[in-house]
Structures are given as structure tokens and as C-alpha cells.
Chains A and B, each alone.
Chain A
């Protein structure tokens, strides 16, 4: 009975420690213990390796290849001929010949398109829609966005749009699958490029209505993009996938709005026979191509095709779709293909230095053994990195880069093709050859997709592009992320077990254990509960901050500055209140636990914080990898290095100063508004800086239901607050 509380302290540990002397624990246990006992060096190594692996991603990029054999791109000769180009040109002239400007003439283009479609023997109908104002619905994050009921607001008649949809029933198909072609045009202000897009769309459509090889229906959507391309396409897709059995009031309103237009249309006896407002459907969509012609923006020696593929929340279409477009464009039509690139990085000096260094290392390795050569020329490296950066940026943002994003919400692979000529569109002779190329490209892609037996599944869904024909797949970039995040659980385990070990040591050393037993039975292994409570409260605060904009949006007469101010003030106010309610995290620990545990308090809080950050980042990496990757680059170093300021005073001067600067720098960098401001200042200078920028940015995120917003407010911000909490910990 000499040492009662030591025995009750941890009977299992005494037994296990005695047993460890007899037999070694299992390998995996030893490995875990090794990792945890060397947590500092392990986390440093992993973290550095994580950052480095991001830099060498452009080198690890592989060439794309067409994975699905059934696609067979370019195996047939294109049928799109000069005749079709003539037809397109005729259509362009007709469109440009229509009068514009008045509300009356808004139905002119749909009617013209409908007449042409009927002429080519296909079905046609008008789809009327309201432009949805993107609103923040906080609960929509948790339900399936595509299938929620949208409530139509009392929009005025002026905000209704009309899409014209033509359907070719495939002669060889069973009508269960379809390929969608989309040509957006702005009816408010028709330009030559819009007219050319429509002309091209129509000429391809009329060609496809004559061919015999179609096995999938063709749906051509001439989308009125007066209220945004995305809005019209997504409205059509919503109606396509959610049949309306009872006409809702919103629907009725659209009809009454357009009654005068319909009246006009009735007079058009030729079209009336086969046009209707009845929503017609085809089968499930195998793929969708959004194509538009833009006037040339930059000097180029070839006609250029730029591909946009990022849909909401960093989802990408199947890589095979991009592959066939790239293959046909480059090898059949001789177009220059490009994807989005971060231009600011193209001229960055340090990137070039890194590229040259890597090239040098690769050449050195190649001298030793030619097979070890891995690198690419520095110029390629810089370009690859710039493209990768923009690919990551757009995926991380979670905002679709075009109307193809609407398709991805219904699991349909879609991309936007922007075709621009090498000479200006004004030149009529030049744009015939240009139309011929574009038409053949799209015909080839349609023909290829038409060969498909199943939906796209062979190739990758999760990838980054480093150039139009190079990609980094999930298997590669996940390693870098795993390296970056793996220090978090290791550190959490190390901190947590460090606490436990430290306590038992002290328990063994102290002769009088009364103070120890005061801790109580229930607290020993559950000591993290208090820290978990703090972490939970801060995350709860995150949820409240997340929902606040919903309320702020309803304030009258707000600017982005005032909204931002309201948001900040309310957030801080609520944080203070929560601190009070939850019993002031700092003070609570002071009067209950004995002194020897106070120093441990922040350590265990850090352990829980780090664990919560690891869970958050892990989750986000599955929802939107790019956002998690970028977030981890800020969050992981901050969480790893955070240390109470008061504690630093007891250290050596050099170490303390180093730790202090690191902590402060990371704490500033880790705060999302500060990050945005620093980025803005570095890219644009101090000029246009305002408080509302951050609000506008966040507004665009939640308007598109981006999960990045959730990540920022539910994971990043609470972790940052917790880190500040630890920094200011009174020990």
C-alpha cells in the first residue's frame, strides 16, 4: 500500500512495460513508436518533401493517351465540307441581317434557328427560363444541389430567356443516349463571333441530321446567354432532368410573359407544324461540347483552340474527352491547342532558376546513367508549372470556368472549346477555312463519342493539366499531399503521448502522490476532453460565421465594405460571447487542475487542434483536392510550428527569435483575408485595395456553392483562431 495511486494510475502500463522487457512489441508498433519519438525530424522531413514534391510535379507529368479503345478518334474521314461552310455563312448573314435592339426582336433569332432546324428535318422546341439570381442557400451545401427544388422568384418578364433546342433522333440508336452541342449567343448584342458560333452550330447540326452513322441522338442547344451562359445551360439541364408534373407558378409566369412572342410565332405557319413549347427529351447525355468562336486576341501563327474544363468544386471531365479533342485538333486539323495558364508565373525568375536547377540535376544524373535522366528543359518546366498553377487555382476556386460546369453536376462530361482564328474574323475568305476546320473538329469529336459503348470511365477524372497533352494523375499528386499532411497525425500522437508519458514519469518520481490522485479517476485518460471542448466551440463559431452572410445579405443598402465590416464585427462579437459561455478556456484550466498540468494544457490543445486540422484537410482533399493542397500549404506549417509566446521567453535567444518570426509570419499568412490582401498587393500593387475585396471574393465562392468557402470557414479559419489561441496562451 506504499504507492496506491501509482498502481491505480496505469496498471496496464506497468504490466505492459514489464512484458516489453520479455518480448518485443510487434514491428508496426515499434515503427509507430519510432515515428512518434522522432516526431520533430519526421514532420520537418515530410513537410519539406511535401513542398518539394509539388515543385517537381511538372516533371512527373505524363503524356496523355486515349484510354478508351472504342473512341477511335480520327479513324473516319470528315464529311464536313465546303457546302456546309456555305450554309453556315448563309446563316451568319441571315442572323446579322435581323434587326436588333427592341424587345420585339428577341424571338427573331430563336425563330430563325427553329425554322432552319425544321428545314433540316429535326425536332425543335423553345425552352423558356428565368435567370436565377445566384443566392446563398446555406443548407444547399448539405443536400444534393442538382435535385433541390428551386423556388422561382417574382422576376420581371424582362429576365426570361429563350433557348432553342433541336433534337436529331439517331437512325441507328435506340434514343437512350445523346450528345449535346451547345452554342451560347447573346441575343442582346449579337456580334459577328456569336453569329459565327450559331452558323457553325447549325451547319454541323444539319450535317449530322443527314448522316447515317449516328447511334446517339444529337441535341443542339442554342443557349441565350444574355443572363450568363451558365444560367441558361443550367436552367435547361435542370428542366431536362427534373420533369415538372404540376406546372408551378413560376412556369406559368414564364408562359404569360412570353405570350406575345408566342403569338407572333403562331403566325409563322411553316414552323408551327413542328415547333412546340413541349419540353422534349432525349436519352442520358454521354458528353457535351460547348463551342464558341471568339475573335482573335493575340498574335498566333495558327488558328487556336482553347479548352476549358474545370467544373464546380474542382471536378474535371474524363480526361479522354480532352484527349480526343486535343488529338483531333492537333493531328487532324492543325490547330494550336492551349489551356489556361498563369501568365504572371511565365516570367518569374525564381521559377526559371528552379527549372534550370532541375534540368542540371537531371543532366548530371544522365551523365552517370542515361536512364536516370528525368528532367525537362527549363522553359518547358516554367510553362508546365504556370499551367499547373492555373489548373490548380481554378480547381481550388471551385467555380466553373464556363457553361460546361453545369453539365458536371449531372455527371456529364463536358468541355468548352473556344476557337479563335489567326486573322481577324472580319476577313470573310479567311473565316471559311477557319469554319471548315472548326466544323471538322467538332464532327470528329461527335463521331468519336458516338462510338462509345459505355459512359466515359476508362480514363482519369482526377488530374491536373500541365499542358494540353500532359497531365498529373491523382496517384502522383496525392503522394505530395500525403507527405505534406502526414506530419499532423504524427505530431498529434507525439504531443498526446508525450503528455501521458510525462505524467506517469512525474507520478513515479513524486513521493507524495496526493496531488496526483486529486485529478480523479475520470480525468486521466480523458484529459483531452477539455481541449476538445475548446476546439469544438471554435468550430461551432466557424459554423455561425459560415451562416452569417445569409443574414447580412438581407440587410438593405449594403456595399461590400459595410458587409465585410458587419461580418467581421459580428464574428468577433460572437467569438467573445462563446468564450464567455464556454467558461473562458484559459481560466478554467487554471483553478481546477494542479500546477503541474498547466504547462501541459496548451500542448494537449495543440494536439487536438492538429488532429482536427488533419481531419479537415483529409476531408477536403476528397471533396476538392486542389483547395486542400493549397490550404495545407498554409495550414500545415502554421499548425506544426505554433508555440505559446510566453513559453518562448524561457528559450535561447536565437531559437526564440526564430520561432517568434516563423510563428508571426505564418499566423499572418494563414489568415485568409490577409493572404488575399498580400496576393493582391503583390500582383496589383497597393492601388485598388479595399476592404470589400474579400467580401466580393467570398460572395463569388458561395454564389457558386463552392466547397472552398466551406473549407475556409469551417476548417481554415477555426484552425487559425486556435493557433492564435495557443500563441497567446498564458501557460
Chain B
């Protein structure tokens, strides 16, 4: 109970801190930092798009705005700065604070579901002593707090980039999949894809989540367990499982169920149809849907804006010869796709962890990354705090993230404002950052597989 109160106090403090910082946001001027606002998420660009639309021009004119027309209708009125109404800016920031809060709550709820499934699968494996001897941390609370207190989340929120909304949609989709609400999962997935394209790859973990249920130890372990304890009695095995299914809906289900997946696909098509209709209504006097796709998803895929950001693509495409450009565009984007299948095969028993890995990889390789993406996958990482207790290099990674996070703005300042550095200085931090992310992904996947191995050892001894 005391713990719970502490949790809510921390949540409240985190939100309060945001509100306090929002009052200084004009002075902090975070919205113009390249680390926080990308061409896709910058609120200033959104304001420009809204202004264009108000003066009955296409919001995509002049390559300023590249976001969704729906965001324009929701957030646009709040970006209008006028002398009389000073509160618009605060209202707009409040939206992001609320989005952060909902995201954290969804992460918490997801964490509770995952933890329930985890302890139930351990119970069904007769590894209860593992639960007793080890101090299990409530992963949902940890993850929610990690998300809320992460400085990267805070600066994204205060800097008024639209990433909190994208993150909310991604988490919404994962939450929906975890709790097997197909319409919710489909909605989150469709909107997230519509907003930033990369969450499209989350369809794999979402389908796995809907089909198999949430994370559990590998299926082999269950077979092993059943063969060792009651191998002679196959009826016992089926009884075990069926009773589990009937008594607790969160129990690991080992066969792929098609029903929720079909629901999901149905709902996804309904939602995407709906979103497209809304977009076309919003854009019908201007370029229509074709222009929208060209200026949003096309802009993401062709990496048109080469202004510096924390990713590695801008530097590369600024250097590459023009006739190789298309080739390398394909290479870079296929890079993400190549990793999908092997990871899905290896981690198919842990679809939620798979989702985390996908989010981390896409935030590393996407064309306009921002710290908001990092904030999302670090928050999701918190959900696996029990499984990843043995992760290597955690201290090194922590120091690395802190160091790079501080170094990057300094290098940017040295290059842009002082003129004593050059682009290589800033790009060096981007490379270091990418390296850290790679180490994080590799180490977390390694730790997760080791965790499975450990369970197996417990079972076999």
C-alpha cells in the first residue's frame, strides 16, 4: 500500500515537473533542438502547416509540414499565437503531458498483465520457488516511472514535439494486443503507422500477441516439463492446460488462435479506411491523399530533409553521390525489414519483448529519429526488469546514454553557433549513440535468452 502511494506520488511529481518546465519552455527553447523536434514531429512546422491551411493553401506546400492532417486539425488551433490568448501554448503542452500520463498508465497496465502471465507460466512450470526466493519487482510500476521520469521523455514533452502522441498510439496498440482487445490494438497500430510509418512493423508482435498470448517461457519448456513430470499420462497434460485456460484467461496458450488475429485484421482495415476518409475530407480541396502519402510517408522513405539529427542517415545521404541515392535508400530501409523475420522466429514466445526490440531497432535506423523514440523503448525496457536482471554492461550503457545525451547538444553548439567545430563532431555523437543502442538491443536480447536458458536449467535439474 505504501509502495502504491509512493508510485502515485512519483507520478504526480513527474507531471508537476513537466508543468513547471512548461512555464519556462519559451526560455528553454527546446522545440528548436534537433534532438527533440524532427521535421516530422516539430510543432513549429505543424503551426506553419496549420497557417497554410487556414490561408487555404495545401498544408504540405513548401515542404514545411510532413505530419498527418489529423494532427493538424487537433493540434493546429492550439498553435495559433495571438496577443489576446496567451494560454494556447500551455493548452498544447498540456495535451502532451496528458498523452505522457496515459502512455505511462497503459505501460503500467501492460506490465501488470505481463507479470501475471509471467508468474502463471512459472507456476505452471512448477518454478514457484523462483518466485519466492527472488524479489520480484512490480515491472509495470517500474516501467511507468522509467517512462515518466526519463529526462528524454520530459524534454520531448516540454519541447512540444508530437512524439508523445506517436508513443501513445504505439503503446495503445501494444496494450490492446496484450489484453486481447482487437479493435484497440488495431486502432493504435493504424494511427501509429499513419503518423510515423515505422510502427507498421509492429504488426508482427501484435499478431503474435493476439495469437499466442503474452510473453511466456519457450514452448519447449512446457513440453519438457510435461514429459518429465507426467510424460506417461498424456491426459494429465491436456487436463493441465485446459484447466489453465478456463480458470485464468491470462495463462499461456500454446496454440495459435486465429480468431483475435482475424478480428484484428478486420478492425485494422476498418480503422485505416476510416482514417483515410478523414484525411481525404480534411485535404479534399488540396492535393488529396496522394499528396499526403507523398509528403508524409514518401518524405520518410526518401530522406529528403538532411538537416542534422541524432540519427546516422542525414550525414550519409548528404555525402552519397546522387546516382547511388536510391540504392542506398533501399539498403537502409531493407535493413530494418531484414531483421524482422529472424527476430520474430527466435523470440516468438515473447512477442512483447519482440515489440520492444522492433521499436528499438526502428528508432535507431529510422530516417528522422528523436529522443522521443528513445524514451519509448527505454520505457518498454522497464517492463522486463525481472527478466533482464542479469543484463551485462548496464552501468556502461547508463553512463553512455548520459554522456552522449549531454555531449550531443554541446557538439551541436560547437558546430552551429561557435563555428569552431564541424559536422563530424556532431556526427561522432550520433555514431556513439547508435552504438549504444546496438549494445542495448544485443545485450537485452542476450539477457532474455539467458533467462530462458536459466529457466530450462531449473527445469532439468
A residues contacting B by CB (< 8 A) are 1, 4-5, 7-8, 10-12, 139-140, 142-144, 146, 148, 315, 411, 461-462, 492-493, 496, 514, 517-526, 528, 532, 607-608, 611, 615, 618-619, 622-623
If the complex has contacts A139-B28, A411-B417, A618-B403, are A623 and B410 also in contact, measured as CB distance less than 8 A?
A: yes
Taking a contact as CB atoms closer than 8 A, the residue among B135, B395, B410 that contacts A520 in the complex is B135
A–B complex contacts, Cβ < 8 Å, 24 sampled = A1-B461, A4-B458, A8-B458, A11-B454, A12-B450, A143-B28, A143-B29, A144-B417, A518-B135, A520-B134, A520-B135, A521-B389, A522-B134, A522-B135, A525-B389, A526-B389, A526-B391, A611-B399, A618-B407, A619-B406, A619-B410, A622-B407, A622-B411, A623-B410
Q: How far is the CA of A140 from the CA of B391 in the complex (A)?
A: 40
Given contacts A143-B27, A462-B420, contact A528 B392 (CB under 8 A): no
Cβ proximity bits B206-250 to A, threshold 8 Å, 1 near / 0 not: 000000000000000000000000000000000000000000000
The 4 closest A-B CB pairs, nearest first, are A520-B135, A521-B134, A461-B420, A411-B419
What is the distance, in angstroms, from A351's C-beta to the closest C-beta of chain B? 31
CB of A11 within 8 A of CB of B450, answer yes
Is there an interface contact between B134 and A7, defined as CB atoms closer than 8 Å? no
Known interface pairs A518-B135, A522-B134; 6 further A-B residue pairs with C-beta atoms within 8 A, sorted by A's residue number? A5-B133, A514-B133, A517-B134, A519-B135, A520-B136, A528-B394
User: Chain B residues near A5 (CB, 8 Å)?
Assistant: 133
Task: List residues of chain A with CB within 8 A of the CB of B450.
Answer: 11-12
Q: Quick one: CB contact mask for B424-461 with A, threshold 8 Å, 1 for yes?
A: 00000000000000000000001000100110011001
Encode contact with A along B277-309: 1 for CB under 8 Å, 0 otherwise: 000000000000000000000000000000000
Closest-by-CB residue of A relative to B400 is A615
Instruction: Report B373-411 residues with CB < 8 Å from chain A CB.
Output: 385-386, 389-392, 394-396, 398-399, 402-403, 406-407, 410-411
Residue pair B390, A12 in contact (C-beta under 8 Å): yes
Q: Given the interface contacts A462-B420, A521-B136, does A622 sit within 8 Å of B414 by beta carbon? A: yes
CB distance from A649 to the nearest CB of B (A): 30
Do A315 and B136 have beta carbons less than 8 Å apart?
no
List the A side residues contacting B402 at CB < 8 Å.
Answer: 615
Contacts of A4 in B (CB 8 A): 458, 461
A7 to chain B: closest residue by CB: B457
User: Nearest chain A CB to B62's CB is how many angstroms away?
Assistant: 22
B137 interfacial by beta-carbon distance below 8 Å = yes
Which listed residue, B389, B395, B418, B457, touches A315 by the CB 8 Å rule? B418
By the criterion CB–CB under 8 Å, are A525 and B454 in contact? no
Q: Which residues of B contact A146 (CB under 8 A)?
A: 417
Q: Residue on A with the closest CB to B416? A: A144
Nearest neighbor of A616 in chain B, beta-carbon distance:
B406
Asked if B417 contacts A521 (CB within 8 A), the reply is no
Q: Is the CB of A315 within 8 A of B420?
A: yes
Residues of B within 8 A of A315 (CB): 418, 420
Q: B321 near A: Cβ within 8 Å?
A: no
Residue contact A523 to B389, C-beta cutoff 8 Å: yes
Q: DSSP class of B's interface residues: helix, strand, loop or mixed?
A: helix
- Chain A residue at minimal CB-CB distance from B139: A522
Q: Are B414 and A11 in contact (CB under 8 A)?
A: no
A12 to B414, CA, bound (A): 42
State whether the Cβ of B24 lies closer than 8 Å to any Cβ in chain A. yes
- The contact of B398 among A11, A462, A522, A532, by CB within 8 Å, is A532
- Set of chain A residues within 8 Å of B410, measured between Cβ atoms: 619, 622-623
Chain A residue nearest in CB terms to B129: A4
Q: Is the CB of B389 within 8 A of A615?
A: no
B453 contacts across to A, CB distance below 8 A:
11
Question: Do A528 and B395 have beta carbons less than 8 Å apart?
Answer: yes
The residue of chain A having its C-beta at the shortest distance from the C-beta of B27 within the complex is A139
Chain B, residue nearest A139 (CB):
B27
Known contacts A7-B454, A139-B27, A520-B135; A496 and B417 CB within 8 A of each other: no
* CB-contact partner of B399 in A10, A520, A615, A619, under 8 A: A615
Q: Give the CA-CA distance A107 to B324 in the complex, in Å.
A: 65
A524 and B389 contact, Cβ closer than 8 Å, known pairs A532-B398, A615-B406: yes
Query: In the assembled complex, which residues on chain A have CB atoms less than 8 Å from the CB atom of B403?
Result: 615, 618-619
State the Cβ distance, A217 to closest chain B Cβ, in Å: 21
Nearest A-chain residue to B406, judged by Cβ: A619
Cβ of A625 to closest chain B Cβ, rounded Å: 11
User: What is the CB-to-nearest-CB distance from A722 to chain B, in angstroms, rounded to a whole number?
Assistant: 15
Contact A521 to B386, CB < 8 A, known contacts A11-B454, A532-B398: yes
Knowing A4-B458, A143-B27, A525-B389 touch, does A619 contact B134 (C-beta < 8 A)? no
Instruction: Determine the distance from Cα of A1 to Cα of B130 in the docked complex, in whole angstroms.
Output: 13
- Nearest-neighbor residue (CB-CB) of B135 within chain A: A520
Q: What is the bound-complex CA distance between A637 and B135, given in angstroms?
A: 39
Closest A residue to B29 using CB positions: A143
**Contact between B454 and A8 (Cβ–Cβ < 8 Å)?**
yes
A524 to chain B: which residues have CB within 8 Å? 389-390
State the CA gap A524–B389 with chains docked (Å).
6
Q: Give bound CA distance, A523 to B385, whole Å.
A: 9
State the CA gap A618–B403 with chains docked (Å).
9
Contact with A along B42-83 (1 / 0, CB 8 A): 000000000000000000000000000000000000000000
The residues of A that contact B392 with a CB separation of less than 8 Å are 12, 525
Give A446 to B129 CA distance when docked, in angstroms.
Answer: 83
Q: Which residues of B contact A611 (CB under 8 A)?
A: 395, 399
With both beta carbons as reference points, the residue of chain A lying nearest to B420 in the complex is identified as A461
Contacts of A7 in B (CB 8 A): 454, 457-458, 461
Give the distance to chain B from A405, nearest Cβ to Cβ, in Å: 13
Q: Contact check, B407 vs A411: say whether CB atoms are below 8 A apart.
A: no
Which residues of the partner chain A approach B414 to less than 8 Å between Cβ atoms? 622
Nearest chain A CB to B283 CB, angstrom units: 34
User: Which B residues are in CB contact (< 8 Å) with A144?
Assistant: 29, 413, 417
C-alpha spacing A661/B12, complex, angstroms:
47
Give the Cβ gap from B22 to chain A, nearest Cβ, in Å: 13
Q: Within the assembled complex, what's the spacing in Å between the Cα atoms of A615 and B404?
A: 9
Which residue on A lies nearest to B142, using beta carbons? A522
